[in-house]
């Protein structure tokens, strides 16, 4: 069994090995560095993230965590595992002084949810 299959059995999120998924995260906003990963992981939970990191450490694999891919010199790229955090993009709590969100929530979602909730808090 390949390590990608083994990883797929350890997590509940998706482990993608097709060319389209790997090409989509092979470069970043800077377009200077190109590094196509062997797998792209879309975690379903924080536990999945922890499992991926432990798996990579156990098997000496490199992992890059990726959000929007706006880095400019390859910081969000990896030859082996890209952990695509956009699958964890929920804003979970908005109070008057704070917003709590998952690690892959984008600025747009963050702001629109916060604005809607702030309006509710005010009314």
78 binds ligand FAD (CB under 6 A): no
Q: Which of 66, 81, 91, 94 binds ligand FAD (CB under 6 A)?
A: 66
Closest residue by beta carbon to ligand FAD:
67
Number of residues that bind ligand FAD (CB under 6 A): 15
Q: Which of 21, 85, 91, 94 binds ligand FAD (CB under 6 A)?
A: 85
Q: Which of 61, 67, 81, 91 binds ligand FAD (CB under 6 A)?
A: 67
β-strand pairing of 81-84 with 63-66: parallel
Q: Which of 67, 103, 82 is nearest to 34 (CA)?
A: 82
Query: Rounded CA gap, 7 and 58, in Å?
Result: 11
What contacts 24+ positions apart, CB below 8 Å, involve 63-67? 64/37, 65/103, 66/25, 67/103, 67/104, 67/106
Name the residues that contact ligand FAD, by CB under 6 A: 28-29, 64-71, 75-76, 85, 103-104
């Amino acid at each position: 069994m390949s390590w990608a299959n083994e990883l797929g059995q350890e997590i509940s999120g998706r482990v993608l090995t097709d060319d389209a998924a790997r090409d989509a995260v092979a470069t970043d906003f800077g377009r200077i560095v190109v590094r196509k990963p062997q797998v792209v992981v879309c975690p379903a939970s924080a536990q999945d993230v922890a499992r991926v990191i432990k798996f990579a450490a156990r098997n000496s694999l490199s992992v890059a965590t990726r959000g929007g891919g706006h880095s400019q010199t390859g910081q969000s790229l990896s030859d082996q595992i890209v952990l695509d955090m956009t699958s964890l993009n929920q804003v979970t709590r908005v109070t008057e002084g704070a917003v709590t969100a998952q690690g892959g929530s984008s600025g747009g979602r963050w702001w629109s949810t916060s604005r809607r909730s702030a309006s509710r808090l005010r009314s």
